Amino acid sequence: MLNRKGGPAIFLAAALAASIFAARPASADEPPALALGPAPYDEIRSTGREVAPSRGRPEASAVPVVACSFHDAVCVHAEAATAPAAVLWTLRWAEQALRTYRALGLPAPLDDAGLGGTRGFDIYLLAAADAPSTTPDLIARGYGFDSQSAFTILPPPAAPFTSCFAPNAVAQGIARAIVLRFDAGVEDGTSAMTSTYLASLASECDLADLAAVDDFQRAPERAITAANPDEPAGSLLFPWFLDDVYGQSTPAKVITTLISVAAQRTLPGALEWSNEPDLFDTLRINMKARESSLDALLLDFSIARAFVGSRSDGMHLTGVERFGDFGRVRFDWAVPFTSLPRRLAPIRPLDPTGATYLWIDCADAPAGAELTFLADWELPSIFRWSLIKVDKTGAENGRIDIAGVYGDSHVERSVVGLAGMAGLLVVGVNAGSTDRGHPFDPDEAPFMPHSYTVTLAK
């Protein structure tokens, strides 16, 4: 079941289609090589996730109750004291998720060669489990490119089985296993946003999505890859945004294709997966092919975040009105135009890919009102800015995008025509390092945050 609302995604530029979608692999186990050019992309950098799993599978004797699907490659294993209804409901939710993913053109999780007793995906219900967790197996089972099977451990669902959180956890666990089939070395943040987005399409659990988006929007300064892969992540808005802007109608096609073409071959015996290129490398290359940049993409996404929930104007992200006030991004400052000049700084510094939002209320702006914007930030980060006029209906009425200059940390712009506007929205994003040889890498957490000051004068 798909719960995305609104029409099909917008348009896909020919360059992006040629560089990503034409390269869609015939088999999920055999993603195509991605030609990223000279070093550092042809180097193996030990910044990926550890190869060794964080936990092993439960012993078969500890989970003697087993129920397997007649239609899909999935089994549920449970302790002897587990209620039979809990086992059967979990199996039903797993079948539902797999049917949805199959309808989206996605493969099932990688065959585990019988590690759980069958060759299907295994879900274990353990009373001692504090929270859902999906763990890759120790042995990679792909065909050349890094690919892993996985299993999920869940606490048994409680009767009367009407809560949507349990089926959402099942759907997210299976989605994460599918991501590991595409790329065993995928970073946790990318896995979190992708699996949450897929689960939102399969389980229709608005409560889980709402809580995740609320947390994400309350801390816009954090990196969009700063999320636990086993919990619903509000960064699902990023693959949602990619679908809206670049998708061809099938939800999640963009993000899963980007992950699959970033798969690599890790040397035998390595302690960490080789995760170069990663999701952001593939985005960087494909945005360049579209005569744009990753910086511009991150700024566009940060702008879209400002129009989520009850602030939606219907022009930035489709279907996000359902998040209501929980989807409203946190503004660092909201000041009236009449209080200018002001010099403002954020509550907290920004991680790479993190964003900041300032609101200048123009309700009392006089005729002919104009504003001068000056921003300074800490090197070696590069910040991108956009000044957006918002009319009294809450819709965007025009914008000025300010491109950062590598090596510089200061920009200035003037904005005119503010009379009659509801306000001016200032959006800034930390686009990462100014060192072109070492761009933002999601594997290198914890990230080094940087701050800024903005001066506004009338």
The pLDDT of residue 15 is above 60: no
Stretch 365-378: mean pLDDT, rounded? 94
The pLDDT of residue 13 is above 50: no
pLDDT at 73: 95
pLDDT range class, residue 341, cuts 50, 70, 90? very high
Stretch 300-327: mean pLDDT, rounded? 95
The CATH number given to 305-457 is: 2.60.120.380
Tokens of residue 18, six digits = 């040629």
Q: Which residue has the higher pLDDT, 146 or 91?
A: 91
Beta strands in 260-347 (DSSP E): 333-336, 342-344
The pLDDT of residue 27 is above 60: no
Q: Which of 155-164, 223-232, 263-272, 435-444 has the lowest mean pLDDT?
A: 435-444
Peptide bond into 40 cis (omega under 30): yes
The pLDDT of residue 103 is above 80: yes
**CA 355 to the chain's CA centroid:** 14
As a whole number of angstroms, the distance between CA 409 and CA 407 comes to 7
pLDDT digits (tens, 9 = 90+) for 249-269: 889 999 999 999 988 888 888
The pLDDT of residue 23 is above 50: no
The pLDDT of residue 28 is above 60: no
As a whole number of angstroms, the distance between CA 119 and CA 406 comes to 51
The pLDDT of residue 20 is above 60: no
Kindly state the percentage of the chain with pLDDT values over 70. 89
pLDDT at 142: 56
pLDDT range class, residue 115, cuts 50, 70, 90? very high
pLDDT digits (tens, 9 = 90+) for 396-433: 999 999 987 778 899 999 999 999 999 999 999 999 88
Specify the DSSP element, H or E, that contains 345: none
Specify the DSSP element, H or E, that contains 113: none
Find, among 340, 333, 414, 403, the residue nearest to 370 by Cα: 414
The answer for residues whose C-beta is within 8 angstroms of residue 38's C-beta and 6 or more apart is none
Q: Which of 41-50, 151-160, 373-382 has the lowest mean pLDDT?
A: 41-50
Stretch 99-111: mean pLDDT, rounded? 96
Beta strands in 211-354 (DSSP E): 333-336, 342-344
pLDDT at 141: 64
Strands in 423-433's sheet, in edge-to-edge order, are: 333-336, 355-361, 423-433, 381-390, 396-402
Top CATH class, 14-291: mainly alpha
pLDDT at 442: 83
pLDDT at 47: 58
Q: Which of 58-72, 238-252, 350-364, 397-411 has the lowest mean pLDDT?
A: 397-411
The pLDDT of residue 44 is above 70: no
Give the angle 296-298-299 at the CA atoms, nearest 5°: 65
pLDDT at 140: 63
**pTM, full prediction:** 0.87
Positions of CATH 1.10.390 in the chain: 14-291
pLDDT at 204: 85
Let me know how many helices (H) and strands (E) the chain has, helices first: 9, 14
pLDDT digits (tens, 9 = 90+) for 122-173: 999 999 999 999 999 987 665 678 899 999 999 999 999 989 999 999 999 9
The pLDDT of residue 32 is above 90: no
Bridge-based pairing state of the strands 65-68 and 381-390:
unpaired
pLDDT digits (tens, 9 = 90+) for 174-225: 999 999 999 999 999 999 999 999 999 999 899 999 999 999 999 999 999 9
pLDDT at 53: 83
| Residue 391 exposed, middle or buried by CB count within 10 Å (0-12, 13-18, 19+) | middle
Q: Is 416 helix (H, G, I), strand (E, B) or coil?
A: strand
pLDDT at 124: 98
Spatial contact of 362 and 419, defined as CB atoms under 8 Å apart: yes
The pLDDT of residue 378 is above 80: yes
The pLDDT of residue 276 is above 60: yes
Q: Is 137 helix (H, G, I), strand (E, B) or coil?
A: strand
Stretch 27-45: mean pLDDT, rounded? 41
Positions of CATH 2.60.120.380 in the chain: 305-457
Stretch 32-61: mean pLDDT, rounded? 63
The answer for residues whose C-beta is within 8 angstroms of residue 163's C-beta and 6 or more apart is 157
